[in-house]
Amino acid sequence: MSINVHISIDMEGVSGVVHNDQTGQKGYDYNMMRKAMTLEANAAIEGSFEAGATTVVVNDSHGSMRNLLPYMLDQRAELISGSPKPLGMMQGVDDNPDISMCIGYHSRPGEKGILSHTIRGSSVVQHFYINDKASSEFEINAGIAGYYNVPIGLIAGDSDIVNDARNLFP
């Protein structure tokens, strides 16, 4: 039996990220956080294969979508990098994976999360509503996965987004 895993990885919820300078290409610590992001992707990839995955596809989902370091990424995984991507942060979820994971995610605007925003920072989108409820990128992306009948198996990021996910999927 084959198990296909899809991973969407953002940067603001990666361990150690505490400031916008760390997530932008001109930021002082950006390259260090690219490494941290790649290591978090590798942990998800390794765990997936240890759990029996036969294929793992990783979609770089932050900003330019060119943040993961291909030479450091676990070579067993396929990397989707760059843009444009018709499904954005969820590119690849339409290829019929068995499960999707959301790594490095962050809370929506107004939450306590350090870099809370929805879609390319608060200067573009202040709030995104689904059924009259302010929603996060995770909620948007979980909806996209649901459209393709792909369950979300893991959310990792800041504590606010993890708590939101627990409430969304009790």
Whether the Cβ atoms of residue 13 and residue 62 lie closer than 8 Å to each other: no
Predicted confidence at residue 123, as pLDDT, reads: 62
Classified as helix, coil or strand, 101 is: strand
- According to CATH, the topology of domain 4-168 is Rossmann fold (3.40.50)
- Say what the pLDDT of residue 124 is: 65
Predicted pLDDT of residue 170: 74
For the chain, what are the domain ranges? Answer: 4-168
* Residue 121 banded pLDDT, cuts 50, 70, 90: low
Tell me the mean pLDDT in the region 71-87.
97
pLDDT at 113: 86
- Model confidence over 36-78: pLDDT tens digits? 999 999 999 999 999 999 999 999 999 999 999 999 999 999 9
Distances (CA, A) of 34 to 30, 59, 67, 109, 113: 6, 14, 6, 23, 20
Mean of the per-residue pLDDT values of the chain? 93
**How far is it, in rounded angstroms, from Cα 75 to Cα 78?**
7
Band (pLDDT 50/70/90 cuts) for residue 1 is: confident
pTM of the full predicted structure? 0.94
Active site residues: 117
d(CA 9, CA 90): 9
| The pLDDT value given to residue 82 | 96
